[in-house]
Structure 1
Amino acid sequence: MLHRESLFDRTFAPLRRALFGASESEQPNTELHESGVEKLKQRIDDCLDRRGGEVSARTGAAELGHLYLDLGPEGRRRFLLLLATDYGVDRDRMDAAMVALQALEPDADSGKAERELRAALIARRVALFRQFNALPQGVKFLVDMRAEIISMMREVPELRPLNDDLRELLTSWFDIGFLNLQRITWDAPAALLEKFMAYEAVHEIRSWDDLKNRLDSDRRCFAFFHPRMPDEPLIFVEVALVSGMADNVQELLDLHAPEGDPGKADTAIFYSISNAQAGLAQVSFGDFLIKRVVDELRAELPNLKTFATLSPVPGFRGWLTGMLQETEVSPWELSLDAALVETTGAENGRAALSALLARDDWHRDEGISTAVRAVLEPLAARYLLTEKRGKRALDPVENFHLSNGARLERINWLGDTSRNGLDGAAGLMVNYLYKLADIEQNHEAYRGRGKITAAAAVRKLLKT
Structure 2
Amino acid sequence: MQRNRFLGDLLSQLFDRRSYMRGKDDTRDIFELCQALLSAEGQVSGLRLAATILDRYAALEQNEKTAFFQFLNNELDIDAQQVARLATEYAKTPTPAVFQKLSTASEPKRQELFRRLNQPVGATQALVAMRVDLLARLKEDSDLARTNLDLVHLLRSWFNRGFLVLQQINWDTSARILDKIVAYEAVHHINDLDDLRRRLYPPDRRCFAFFHPAMPDEPLIFVEVALTADIPGSIDSVLSDHRTPLDADQAKTAVFYSISNCQKGLAGISFGNLLIKQVVSELSMACPQIESYVTLSPIPGLNNWLATQTEDERHGNTAQSTLDGTATSEEVRAMAARYLLMAKRDDGLPVDPVARFHLGNGAMIHDVHANADTSPNGAAQSSGAMVNYLYDLTQVERNHERFAMDAAVVASRGMRALSNATLATQTKE
TM-score, normalised with respect to structure 2: 0.88
Residue pairs, 1:201-220, within 5 angstroms: 201-215=186-200, 216-220=202-206
Residue of 115, 124, 128 corresponding to 1:143: 128
Distance 1:127 1:8, change over 3 A: same
Residue pairs, 1:131-170, within 5 angstroms: 131-170=116-155
1-side partners of 2:340 and 2:251: how far apart? 29
Q: What secondary structure sits across from 1:283 in the alignment?
A: coil
In the alignment, residue 46 of structure 1 is paired with which amino acid? A
Deviations 1:163-194 (CA, angstroms, capped at 9, x unpaired): 22212221222223321110011011110110
CA contact (8 A) 2:210 2:275 kept: no
Deviations 1:336-375 (CA, angstroms, capped at 9, x unpaired): 4xxxxxxxxxxxx74x655x1xxxxx4xxxxx241x752x
Residue pairs, 1:371-450, within 5 angstroms: 373-374=330-331, 376-386=332-342, 387-388=344-345, 390-450=347-407
2-side partners of 1:201 and 1:313: how far apart? 14
- 1:333 paired to 2:289: no
Match of 1:342 in 2: none
In the alignment, residue 216 of structure 2 is paired with which amino acid? P
Gaps of 5+ in 2: 1-15, 422-429
In the alignment, residue 363 of structure 2 is paired with which amino acid? A
Task: State the shift of 1:286 in Å.
Answer: 7.3
Residue of 175, 183, 188 corresponding to 2:168: 183
CA contact (8 A) 1:221 1:238 kept: yes
Residue pairs, 1:283-298, within 5 angstroms: 283-285=269-271, 287-298=273-284
Gaps of 5+ in 1: 20-39, 337-348, 357-361, 363-367
1-side partners of 2:376 and 2:272: how far apart? 32
Distance 1:76 1:190, change over 3 A: same
More deviation in 239-248 or 174-183? 174-183
Distance 1:393 1:8, change over 3 A: farther
Task: State the shift of 1:8 in Å.
Answer: 4.7
2-side partners of 1:286 and 1:116: how far apart? 38
Match of 1:122 in 2: 107
Residue pairs, 1:10-21, within 5 angstroms: 10-15=21-26, 17-19=27-29
CA contact (8 A) 1:174 1:285 kept: no
Distance 1:175 1:316, change over 3 A: farther
Residue of 215, 224, 230 corresponding to 1:229: 215
2-side partners of 1:119 and 1:319: how far apart? 47
Match of 1:85 in 2: 74
More deviation in 430-439 or 92-101? 92-101
- 1:44 paired to 2:34: yes
Residue pairs, 1:350-361, within 5 angstroms: 350=320, 354=323, 356=324
2-side partners of 1:414 and 1:7: how far apart? 63
Task: State the shift of 1:140 in Å.
Answer: 0.9
Task: State the shift of 1:46 in Å.
Answer: 2.0
In the alignment, residue 195 of structure 1 is paired with which amino acid? K
In the alignment, residue 21 of structure 2 is paired with which amino acid? R
- 1:280 paired to 2:266: yes
Distance 1:6 1:384, change over 3 A: farther
1-side partners of 2:170 and 2:398: how far apart? 34
- 1:260 paired to 2:246: yes
- 1:239 paired to 2:203: no
CA contact (8 A) 2:182 2:196 kept: yes
1-side partners of 2:349 and 2:120: how far apart? 37
Q: CA RMSD in A?
A: 2.1
Match of 1:33 in 2: none
Deviations 1:86-125 (CA, angstroms, capped at 9, x unpaired): 2222223312321211232xxxx54443443333222211
Task: State the shift of 1:18 in Å.
Answer: 4.4
CA contact (8 A) 1:175 1:286 kept: no
Distance 1:63 1:454, change over 3 A: same
Distance 1:211 1:86, change over 3 A: same
Task: State the shift of 1:83 in Å.
Answer: 1.1
In the alignment, residue 121 of structure 1 is paired with which amino acid? S
Aligned length: 404
2-side partners of 1:306 and 1:172: how far apart? 33
Match of 1:23 in 2: none
CA contact (8 A) 2:226 2:238 kept: yes
Task: State the shift of 1:80 in Å.
Answer: 1.6
Match of 2:9 in 1: none
Task: State the shift of 1:9 in Å.
Answer: 4.1
Structure 1: which 4+ aligned runs deviate by more than 6 Å? none
Deviations 1:388-428 (CA, angstroms, capped at 9, x unpaired): 35253322211111222211111111211101111111111
1-side partners of 2:272 and 2:118: how far apart? 21
CA contact (8 A) 2:309 2:315 kept: no
Distance 1:244 1:317, change over 3 A: same
1-side partners of 2:309 and 2:137: how far apart? 31
Q: Percent identity?
A: 37
Distance 1:195 1:454, change over 3 A: same
